[in-house]
Amino acid sequence: MGIYGSLAQQPGVVRVLVSQLLARFPFGMLSIILLLHIQLAYGDFTSAGIVLAAQSVGQAVSGPLSSRFMGRFGMRRVLTLTSIVCAALLVTIALVHLPLPIVAGIAVLIGLTTPPVTPAVRTLYPKLVPNTQLSALFSLDAAAQELIWVFGPVVAVFVSSQFGTTAGLCVAAGFMLVGGAWFILSPAVGAVKLPPSRRGFGAVLRYPTVVIATVVGFFFVASMAAVEAGVVAAFAGDGHGGSGGHGSMESGIVLALFAGGSLVGGLLIGHREMRPWSLLLRITLVLAGMLACVVSLNIWWLSIVLFIGGLGTAPAFAALSNIVASTVKFSETAEAYGWVGMGQLMGVAAGSAFAGVAIDAFGARGAILVAAAMLAAAALCAASTMRWIPDLKGRTIEVPPETGTVTIPLA
């Protein structure tokens, strides 16, 4: 664990890590707050689903676009503008009752103006620490982000239940502005200049590793969304989405332990040297825990097996970051992480949708089987693309140079 103490001693690392977590914290809150707010405002969950879907579409589109804009206009300008506009749109939905189509349009804009904090910070990391510590930093980041998904929903439910969903949306906007300002004003953000990409939009997808990280991330995150829906359904009274007394508390405990396993795994495993088969091994660990869930939906059994499965979650995310960082030129890393993020957002939507159908048809176990199928697809992708995944044993993560060598024929 001494590697993490060494990271903390690097100038700017702690501030960047903590401030970006605070800036991203609203996205652990927004889904549930928007769901509750729109349902209360319009009287049905269908309207809430339309608004959440609209936000997801906008956010998926914005990922690679806003990341590319950072290379053209600078990180601080893009992050500042998107943070202010996105927070203002959230407050608008909170305070003004508008027709549903207009609210859905605003939700699209919220997605489009989502601050690209994640691609920004993962682009910064190679400039903050020596190459020998980069893998550990990616691992720490992947582990720490679990705090967003453990505490975000808790804060969302507490504020919304005690003070109303209007206050909840305003609190989320406040986190976005305060955390965003702290991150944006970090000396590291001002010091690092992201050169504009010399190639056209989407050209970064010519890197096999970017496609691998995007596709594997899609299936992996889809499985996370599906198992979350399955766990909630398992404790919702009848297992088919009905209401039940302490269901939300029990499901919250299980999902918190799942995230806790990810946090522990990220700290213990994620920093280890990555081999071509490391991604597959970490996904397989999560898959084993997921398949074990089918045996019983007892709270203690689910808590244990998902904690064990969670040990591979953050390390898998860290591996995806390592794959991109070690193979993509610095000027293209922000856009690359934007595409990877888009794949994960699409995974959330797909996993939730398939899980919902499976719950209606087969109960909570149906959603867990969907999650296992998604993880199996992720494992298959990782296994079939091993030859493109870099072997970092005995090596440090080095960003490829902006210019390559040119072979000059002698005859």
Least confident of 82-96, 283-297, 335-349: 335-349
Q: What is the pLDDT of residue 178?
A: 94
Q: What is the pLDDT of residue 236?
A: 66
Transcribe 234-293 into DSSP letters. HTSSSSSS---TTHHHHHHHHHHHHHHHHHHHHHHTTTSPP-TTHHHHHHHHHHHHHHHG
Torsion sign over Cα 74, 80, 83, 88:
negative
Residue 397 three-state SS: coil
Residues 137-153: what's their mean pLDDT? 73
Dist CA 227 CA 78 (whole Å)? 34
pLDDT at 404 over 60: no
Q: What is the pLDDT of residue 79?
A: 92
pLDDT tens across 269-279, in order?
Answer: 766 777 888 89
Residues 77-82: what's their mean pLDDT? 93
Q: Token pair of 171, please?
A: 């609190």
pLDDT at 373 over 90: yes
pLDDT tens across 316-371, in order?
Answer: 888 888 888 788 876 677 778 778 878 887 787 778 778 877 887 888 899 899 99
Note whether 261 and 311 are within 8 A (CB).
Answer: yes
The residue with greater pLDDT, 299 or 85, is 85
The residue with greater pLDDT, 130 or 404, is 130
Residue 85 three-state SS: helix
Q: What percent of the chain has pLDDT over 90?
A: 26
pLDDT at 409 over 50: no
Transcribe 12-63 into DSSP letters. THHHHHHHHHHHHGGGGTHHHHHHHHHHHHHSSHHHHHHHHHHHHHHHHHHH
Residues 392-404: what's their mean pLDDT? 58
Q: At residue 91, what is the residue type?
A: V
Least confident of 152-161, 216-225, 279-288, 402-411: 402-411
Residues 297-320: what's their mean pLDDT? 89
pTM of the model: 0.73
Residues 68-81: what's their mean pLDDT? 85
Longest dimension (CA), the chain: 81
Note whether 305 and 287 are within 8 A (CB).
Answer: no
Dist CA 303 CA 258 (whole Å)? 7
> What angle (nearest 5°) sits at the alpha carbon of residue 184, between those of residues 204 and 25?
85
pLDDT tens across 258-267, in order?
Answer: 888 888 887 7
Average pLDDT, the chain: 81
Q: What is the pLDDT of residue 50?
A: 79
pLDDT tens across 185-232, in order?
Answer: 988 887 777 666 666 666 788 889 999 999 999 999 889 878 887 887
Q: How many helices and strands in the chain, by DSSP H and E? A: 18, 0
Transcribe 294-351 into DSSP letters. GG---HHHHHHHHHHHHTTHHHHHHHHHHHHHTTS-HHHHHHHHHHHHHHHHHHHHHH
Residue 245 φ/ψ, nearest 5 degrees: -25, -85
Transcribe 235-250 into DSSP letters. TSSSSSS---TTHHHH
Dist CA 410 CA 389 (whole Å)? 34
pLDDT tens across 3-16, in order?
Answer: 667 777 777 788 88
Structural domains of the chain sorted by starting position, each given as residue range(s) with its CATH number in brackets: 14-134+153-196 (1.20.1250), 197-396 (1.20.1250.20)
The residue with greater pLDDT, 243 or 248, is 248
Q: What is the pLDDT of residue 411?
A: 38
Note whether 261 and 238 are within 8 A (CB).
Answer: no
- Residue 117 burial class via C-beta count within 10 angstroms: exposed 0-12, middle 13-18, buried 19 and up: buried
Note whether 119 and 63 are within 8 A (CB).
Answer: yes
pLDDT at 82 over 80: yes
pLDDT at 305 over 70: yes
pLDDT at 99 over 80: yes
Report the 10 Å Cβ neighbour count for 224. Answer: 25
pLDDT at 102 over 90: yes
Dist CA 226 CA 358 (whole Å)? 9
